[in-house]
Copies of this chain bind each other. A is one copy, B any other.
Amino acid sequence: MTAARGFRAAAVEAGIKPGRTDLALVVSDRPCVASGVFTTNLAKAAPVLVSAEHLRGGSARAIVVNAGCANASTGPQGMTDARESVQLVAAALGCPVDEVLVCSTGVIGVNLPMDKIRGAIPLAVSGLSGEGGAAAARAIMTTDTKPKESSRRVDLGGVTVTVGGMAKGAGMIAPSLAPLHATMLAFFTTDATIDRATLDRALLDAVGPTFNRITVDSDTSTNDTAIVLANGAAGAALVSGPGPAYNALRDAFREVCRDLALMMIRDGEGVQRIAEVVVKGARTEGDALRIARTIADSPLVKTALHGGDPNWGRIIAAAGRAGVHFDIDKVDIHIGEVFVCEGGAARSYDEAAAHQAMLADPGRLTVDLHAGEAAESMWMCDLTKSYVDINAHYRT
């Protein structure tokens, strides 16, 4: 988060998750153009509502994030607490309240321990540093086993611009970030100069094919948020509307998103192996995505991936229940390079090779519908006993 110029970050131990840092603060040294996308879940957490409201103005300077408590399903008290959190940050930074955004992640239905937040915010402000990005990425973790950071540099008219990002998320991962489909927190900073409408577009263009194409457990969270702050500190020319500069910046942004999205699924709860599900030959991209998502979320495909079992019958069964109409008798399926199903039916193939392809990491499951030209893909992970362990004992 501090790879781009003009951003500082800090992490402190607020005491919400004892014995580790659990509150992160990211601050730009000047006001930023800001954009955000949020969960499509009806049960939106209080910090989601407050941040969405503050982003309406299109300008922000700071993001405060806590782990350990989602401040979701917390009623009026939750809203009061989220508002107090941003007020405390604004007061300490000397900026307008609506330039501060807030995110929370952790247990649902528990109020924020405001005594701890009140004590932690001044410490975070005083700890802000141009080298604080890595610590911030660690402080926002919940069941993550590793912090997730990435950055890219891109030349815009002779000026080097940086896009940095961090993310967290290991469970409740089936991102559906409005107006697209996400379950996680992701934060981006850039020192590019860009207008709000163009930044909105860039955020969607970067998140859509990356975060919204991963699924750990099909559970879309109450707190999913992706926020980008652009402070113009690199001094490059304004990026406004489509064109080569937009494309270059979007590509860098998308690469950061892809890095983080793959780190997220790789670090999904209990995950041992990941695979890309590619559906091609569909009539529409919507059809292809719906089938890819149904396969990626199928418990039986996920356990087959875990066991290295090239059980393509589960793949075709998942495709067949996806709610998309196509001719099942034209479907071809490859596991890696092994052609296992042709025209919807078994074909002879080398079982040992298919088993090896199913053990590949990352693996690739390709379904060709032979119904059109559209293609889409999803990243999936296996379902393991560790997932059960982690989630059967998460809260109590």
Q: 8 Å CB contacts to B: which residues of A320-364?
A: 320-321, 325-326, 328-329, 340-341, 343-346, 355
Tell me if A74 is interfacial: C-beta within 8 Å of chain B. Answer: yes
How many copies the complex holds: the figure is: 2
Question: Closest Cβ of chain B: how far from A274's Cβ, in Å?
Answer: 15
Q: 8 Å CB contacts to B: which residues of A196-246?
A: 217-222
Check if B395 sits within 8 Å of A303, measured CB to CB. Answer: no
The listed residue with most B CB atoms (<10 A of its CB), out of A42, A72, A108, is A42
Check if B171 sits within 8 Å of A300, measured CB to CB. Answer: yes
Tell me if A17 is interfacial: C-beta within 8 Å of chain B. Answer: no
> Which residues of chain B are within 8 angstroms of A72 by Cβ–Cβ distance?
313, 317
> Which residues of chain B are within 8 angstroms of A313 by Cβ–Cβ distance?
70, 72-73, 107-109, 222
Check if A300 sits within 8 Å of B42, measured CB to CB. Answer: no
Check if B73 sits within 8 Å of A388, measured CB to CB. Answer: no
Tell me if A41 is interfacial: C-beta within 8 Å of chain B. Answer: yes
Tell me if A316 is interfacial: C-beta within 8 Å of chain B. Answer: yes
> Which residues of chain B are within 8 angstroms of A388 by Cβ–Cβ distance?
303, 306, 383-385, 387-388
A218–B384 alpha-carbon span in the complex (Å):
17
> Which residues of chain B are within 8 angstroms of A392 by Cβ–Cβ distance?
303-304, 306-307, 309
Question: Closest Cβ of chain B: how far from A268's Cβ, in Å?
Answer: 11
Number of interface residues of A (CB under 8 A): 71
Tell me if A370 is interfacial: C-beta within 8 Å of chain B. Answer: no
Q: 8 Å CB contacts to B: which residues of A272-325?
A: 297-300, 303-304, 306-314, 316-321, 325
Tell me if A110 is interfacial: C-beta within 8 Å of chain B. Answer: yes
- Which single member of B308, B321, B329 contacts A75 (CB below 8 Å)? B329
Chain B: CB-nearest residue to A106: B313
Tell me if A111 is interfacial: C-beta within 8 Å of chain B. Answer: yes
Tell me if A51 is interfacial: C-beta within 8 Å of chain B. Answer: no
A311–B320 alpha-carbon span in the complex (Å):
33
Chain B: CB-nearest residue to A111: B346
Q: 8 Å CB contacts to B: which residues of A374-393?
A: 383-385, 387-389, 391-393
Tell me if A162 is interfacial: C-beta within 8 Å of chain B. Answer: no
Tell me if A140 is interfacial: C-beta within 8 Å of chain B. Answer: no
Tell me if A193 is interfacial: C-beta within 8 Å of chain B. Answer: no
Tell me if A78 is interfacial: C-beta within 8 Å of chain B. Answer: yes
Residues of chain A whose beta carbon lies under 8 Å from any beta carbon of chain B: 40-44, 70, 72-78, 107-111, 171-172, 176, 217-222, 297-300, 303-304, 306-314, 316-321, 325-326, 328-329, 340-341, 343-346, 355, 383-385, 387-389, 391-396
Enumerate 26 A-B pairs (CB-CB under 8 Å) in ascending A order: A42-B325, A72-B317, A73-B313, A73-B316, A73-B328, A73-B346, A74-B345, A74-B346, A75-B346, A76-B345, A108-B317, A109-B346, A110-B346, A218-B298, A219-B314, A220-B321, A299-B383, A299-B387, A300-B391, A303-B387, A306-B392, A307-B393, A309-B395, A311-B394, A383-B388, A385-B385
Across the A-B interface, the 6 shortest Cβ-Cβ residue pairs: A108-B313, A75-B345, A307-B392, A43-B320, A303-B391, A42-B320
